[in-house]
């Protein structure tokens, strides 16, 4: 999370610094109208840059994933850039439309219009841009209304995923209208300064990303076909494991990574952590899912062996590689999946790490416990199964009691976000360095 926050802060500070080099935040004379004009330019630059970067991050580009420490971190930054764009766009809109309303209501006095420049003195490009201002303002305003609605819906977790995916793609088309709006209405002198050069680069990248999104080409070079070759169910847990036989082209994966799997084209791709180690001689992967919503419930009820699917990936940096000789793993519920893959890897090539795996569950299913115990024994790690109904919720005190060397360990967590926040807060308060707490932010919206 700190890397995400730092990245967002660096972006905003850098853009603000570039803008300050091009303009003054305190116009002279300082009047409402003069400040409005300055703020409209600044808020427009921040909003447009945030939207452009969010579009670029949506491409799932491997180099950016590596820089940010995982696609999950990239999507979290994408989300906060979207929120930043929404907030600054609302302010931008209010200073534009609200000023006109306040003038009509008599709260403000319209300042006298200055002399308009002679079009012949402006040059071909600036003259044409000025001629498009009215159209660009109208287009931008109506695009803003629809984009604001779509961004708010994207933040509502109860909004169905398949509808979110479709409506979120519409934002790419709206983004192209904002590019036109920005090109026309950005102060012409900015384009001759660093702030304008950066804006041009970001909007070029964002435009390319929007076209890729609208043509359905995101992740296209990392997609292969597969088919369901087997499935195993744990009815008491409403959990099912699906084995996928892969077509040629899968590059391999490491434990802790995930993939986007499309079982139903109408539903679109969903992310699933890969629950199996990679063996090139047997090109198959397993995913484990729990029926928590409409989509996974339909899969639990209807997914049949032989069903064709599309898989894209692998993604993620939850790879257990931190150089520590002692590790603590915490999996809660379906969050046990990355650890299953790691156990499979360690069964064939053990290292010299001392590892304690804590599995917290509210339903101690005998079949699941047997499988996990056998996998832990083959990998040579210590397994601690916590039944939260009878033993209470797993917390820092339990970990400290069972692993006396906890302070010299790193901790790898996969499970509910609220559980992660609580455990991280308590362990850091007890002295665990923040850099040793690793968590997959498995929320793609």
What is the C-alpha to C-alpha distance for residues 176 and 194, in angstroms, rounded to an integer?
22
* Secondary element (H or E) of residue 86: helix 71-93
Cβ-based burial of 123 (10 A; exposed 0-12, middle 13-18, buried ≥19): exposed
How would you list the strands of the sheet with 223-234, edge to edge? 270-273, 258-262, 308-315, 223-234, 239-246, 284-290
Neighbours of 100 (CB within 10 A): 11
What's the token pair of residue 164? Answer: 């979110």
The total of other beta-carbon atoms located within 10 Å of residue 173's CB is 15
Q: How far is CA 16 from the centre of its chain?
A: 24
How far is 311 from 358, CA to CA, in rounded Å? 30
The side-by-side arrangement of strands in the sheet containing 326-332 is 382-387, 354-361, 326-332, 410-414, 437-439
**Dihedrals φ, ψ of 47, to 5°?**
-65, -45
Helix (H) or strand (E) holding 284: strand 284-290
Among the listed residues 284, 291, 293, 180, the one whose alpha carbon sits nearest the alpha carbon of residue 236? 291
Q: How far apart are CA 386 and CA 364, in angstroms?
A: 9
- Strand residue runs (E) in 316-414: 326-332, 354-361, 382-387, 410-414
Torsion sign over Cα 46, 49, 54, 57: negative
| pLDDT values of the chain reduced to their tens digit, one per residue, 445 residues | 577 889 999 999 999 999 999 998 888 888 888 899 999 999 999 999 999 999 999 999 988 898 888 898 999 999 999 999 999 999 999 999 999 999 999 888 887 766 666 666 678 888 888 889 999 999 999 999 999 999 999 888 888 888 888 899 999 999 999 999 999 999 999 999 999 999 999 999 999 999 999 999 999 999 999 999 999 998 888 899 999 999 999 999 999 999 999 999 988 899 999 999 999 999 999 999 998 888 899 999 999 999 999 999 999 999 898 989 999 999 998 899 999 999 999 988 767 889 999 999 888 888 889 999 999 999 999 999 998 888 888 999 999 999 999 999 999 999 988 999 999 999 999 999 999 999 987 666 6
Q: How far apart are CA 133 and CA 308, in angstroms?
A: 51
Please give the domain boundaries of the chain with CATH numbers for all domains.
2-214 (1.20.120), 220-315 (2.40.30.10), 326-439 (3.40.50.80)
User: 395 φ, ψ to 5°?
Assistant: -145, 180
On whether the CB atoms of residues 411 and 327 are closer than 8 A, the answer is: yes
- C-alpha distances (whole Å) from 31 to each of 20, 25, 382 are 19, 12, 69
DSSP-derived pairing of the beta strands 258-262 and 270-273: antiparallel
Query: Are β-strands 308-315 and 258-262 bridged in parallel, bridged antiparallel, or unpaired?
Result: antiparallel
**Is the link from the previous residue into 158 a cis peptide, with omega within 30 of 0?**
no
């Amino acid at each position: 999370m700190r890397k995400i926050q730092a990245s967002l802060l660096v972006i905003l500070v850098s853009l603000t610094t570039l803008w300050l080099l091009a303009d003054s935040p305190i116009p002279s004379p300082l009047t409402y109208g003069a400040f409005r004009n300055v703020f409209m330019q600044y808020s427009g630059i921040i909003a447009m840059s945030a939207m452009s970067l969010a579009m670029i991050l949506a491409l799932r580009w491997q180099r950016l994933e590596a820089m940010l420490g995982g696609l999950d971190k990239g999507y979290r930054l994408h989300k906060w850039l979207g929120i930043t764009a929404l907030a600054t766009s609302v302010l931008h809109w209010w200073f534009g439309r609200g000023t006109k309303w306040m003038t009509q209501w008599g709260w403000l006095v319209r300042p006298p219009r200055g002399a308009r420049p002679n079009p012949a003195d402006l040059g071909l490009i600036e003259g044409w841009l000025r001629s498009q201002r009215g159209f660009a303002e109208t287009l931008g305003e109506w695009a803003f209304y629809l984009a604001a609605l779509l961004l708010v819906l994207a933040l509502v977790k109860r909004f169905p995923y398949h509808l979110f995916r479709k409506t979120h793609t519409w934002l790419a088309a709206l983004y192209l209208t904002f590019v036109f709006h920005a090109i026309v209405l950005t102060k012409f002198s900015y384009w001759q300064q660093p702030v304008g050069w950066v804006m041009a680069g970001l909007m070029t990248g964002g435009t390319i990303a929007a076209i890729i999104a609208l043509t359905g080409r995101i992740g296209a070079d990392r997609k292969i076909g597969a088919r369901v070759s087997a499935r195993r169910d744990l009815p008491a847990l409403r959990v099912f494991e699906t084995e996928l036989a892969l077509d040629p082209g899968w590059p391999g994966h490491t434990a802790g990574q995930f993939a986007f799997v499309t079982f139903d084209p109408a539903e679109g791709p969903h992310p699933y952590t890969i629950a199996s180690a990679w063996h090139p001689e047997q090109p198959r992967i397993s995913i484990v899912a729990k029926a928590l919503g409409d989509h996974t419930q339909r899969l639990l009820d209807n997914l049949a062996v032989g069903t064709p699917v599309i898989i894209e990936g692998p993604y993620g940096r939850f790879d257990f590689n931190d150089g520590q000789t002692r590790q603590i793993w915490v999996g809660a519920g379906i969050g046990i999946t990355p650890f299953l893959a790691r156990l499979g890897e360690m069964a064939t090539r053990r290292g010299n790490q001392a590892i304690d795996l804590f599995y917290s569950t509210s339903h101690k299913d005998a079949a699941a416990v047997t499988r996990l115990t056998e996998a832990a024994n083959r990998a040579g790690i210590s397994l601690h199964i916590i039944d939260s109904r009878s033993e209470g919720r797993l917390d820092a005190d339990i970990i400290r009691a069972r692993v006396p060397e906890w302070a010299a360990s790193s901790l790898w967590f996969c499970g509910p976000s609220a559980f992660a926040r609580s455990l991280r807060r308590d362990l850091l308060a007890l002295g665990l360095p923040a850099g040793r707490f690793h968590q997959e932010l498995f929320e793609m919206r």
